Structure 1
Amino acid sequence: MLKRTDPAAAYKRVDFEALISGCDAQGLVRVCFDDAVAALERALWADAHDRPDIRRKALERAQMGLLTLLSGLDTSQPVSKSLDVFYRSLLARVTNAQKHFNRTAVEMTRDDLKDIAASLLGQPRKAA
């Protein structure tokens, strides 16, 4: 028998795979930042709307994005040690938020990710 699949989830997965298959290294880093920021924004929305199930999944997604950024650091670059410390501190905030949600810490993490993405990728920082 065929497994039932959520069509929206299937299309989203195909769309995401198509997006990353056409990316260069900088594009993949941008996708990681954008995905982690979007996940944190979903967690904030879920908290405001009393949806702990969505909040938990969103924080897990943000955690995976930060782990991906960490694992992709080019250790031959001088800035990699600073980024390693920075990403690990953000990861600690997200991990702590999974246990005891702290809206301010999650907002700070989202904003920090936006700032570092703007700096590293040359993206303009949008006002909050």
Structure 2
Amino acid sequence: MAGRKTCICRCSNPAFQAGEVLERIHAASVNPIDLKNRASLPIGPKLPGVLGRDFSGVVKLVSEGVDSFCVSDEVYGCAGRIRGLGGTFGEFIVCDPALITLASGSGRIAARGYPHMAAQVPAGRR
């Protein structure tokens, strides 16, 4: 990663389409895949771009056809930075509702690392 710069800049809000949910991100975690994406992993974003995969936040908009979430629901998920999707190191993310879940009682800060941690647990122990 020598010679690569990380910077903070303003980006436009993500495009919002039918079948998607817009969330305001309150917390995001940094995982090993984020570092690999920054180093130009083939499935990662085109750089420059917004990195990050795991997050917790609050639903701001729900599109037509989505009945599993409501505005102001606290959620968490692993929704970002596969090629073509937004990253979670921004203020907002638009994603498929199948990639998020309600943060029932866990709190928005604690929930940010759950998706990555759950993926590390062998299937028989979840």
Structures share a fold, TM > 0.5? no
For normalisation by structure 1, the TM-score amounts to 0.28
If each structure's helix is expressed as a fraction of its own residues, which one has the higher value? Answer: 1
TM-score normalized with structure 2 length: 0.28
**Larger strand proportion, structure 1 or 2?**
2
